[in-house]
Amino acid sequence: MRTEFTNSPEVVERVFKPIGKDQALLDALVNRKQNFVIRKTKYYTSIIHDGLETIYPSKDKECQFPPKQLWIFSAVKRDAIKFSQENPNFEISNKLPVNVTNIDYDNSYGQITGTDIESAYWTMANKMGIISDKTYTKGNEKDYKVTKLASLAVLGRIKAYYVYDKGVKIEKPIIVATEHHEKLKNLYRAIRYGCYHHMGQLAVLLGKDFEAYRTDCIYYRDSFENRKKVYDYLTEQGFTYRQIIWDEENQ
């Protein structure tokens, strides 16, 4: 008869960030036939044993968040929960595509250029009221780009933990969803669809000169008039932007 497993990913008394390797702790717990849970992502490995969560950050520099920026995850989640509680009847718009191409675009003349919205999702989240002005301003720095995108992307995300019972891995993971799981997930959808809505509006303004949009960057036939249309619209909507410079690397 299997011993009842008492460790839980939801009950953590202490958090520890070690210097060693996660495999060493995993092997030790398995050899000692301990009960514990483990979660691995590309960003970190979390092992929870006896009320202690030990977190091993990824060794991949591209998947590491600077320690000074980790506050943003709790701040965004706190703001999003508050927004959800204050707006219980909030509904997201219809699903919109992340990428659109104008199959009728005539590429026989002119040059294509592109305008990229800076911090599109971050700005959209603030404009919608999902994150506060304080959080938006504090995190709106270039070196926060990856961290703030991740803090929005994980809203409402479920977590899967694998259980080790007396050192033996149970194949079926524990799926943990927060109380606000669905509402937070919908808020992230709303942020994305809000961004795509503006891309669609720009496509309408550009008409036959619209070539495509990819998430938060719109491509179109280059001209003074078209750039002005795009710049005026984005400025009016409260976005900042940058013009893509086409050179040999872009060809």
Question: Taking a C-beta distance cutoff of 8 angstroms, is the pair 209, 220 a contact?
Answer: yes
- The pairs formed by 107-111 with CB atoms below 8 angstroms and a separation of 24 or more are 107/211, 110/209, 110/221, 110/222, 110/223, 111/221, 111/222, 111/246
Residue 98 has pLDDT above 70, yes or no: yes
Q: How confident is the model at residue 221 (pLDDT cuts 50, 70, 90)?
A: very high
Give me the mean pLDDT over the 2-6 stretch.
38
* DSSP calls for 3-21: PPP---TT--SEEE--SS-
* pLDDT at 180 (0 to 100): 82
Residue 1 has pLDDT above 50, yes or no: no
The residue ranking higher by pLDDT, 157 or 107, is 107
SS3 label, residue 144 = helix
* pLDDT tens track for 230-249: 999 999 999 999 998 765 44
Question: Taking a C-beta distance cutoff of 8 angstroms, is the pair 208, 104 a contact?
Answer: yes
Q: Residues near 152 by Cβ (< 8 Å), separated by ≥ 6?
A: 76, 121, 122, 125, 188, 191
Task: Establish how many alpha carbons lie within 13 A of residue 216's alpha carbon, considering only the half-sphere containing its beta carbon.
Answer: 20
Pair of tokens at residue 159: 């977590």
Residue 4 has pLDDT above 60, yes or no: no
Parse the chain into domains and list their residue ranges. Answer: 1-64, 66-157+178-243
* pLDDT tens track for 163-172: 999 999 998 8
Q: How confident is the model at residue 50 (pLDDT cuts 50, 70, 90)?
A: confident
* pLDDT at 17 (0 to 100): 55
* pLDDT at 141 (0 to 100): 82
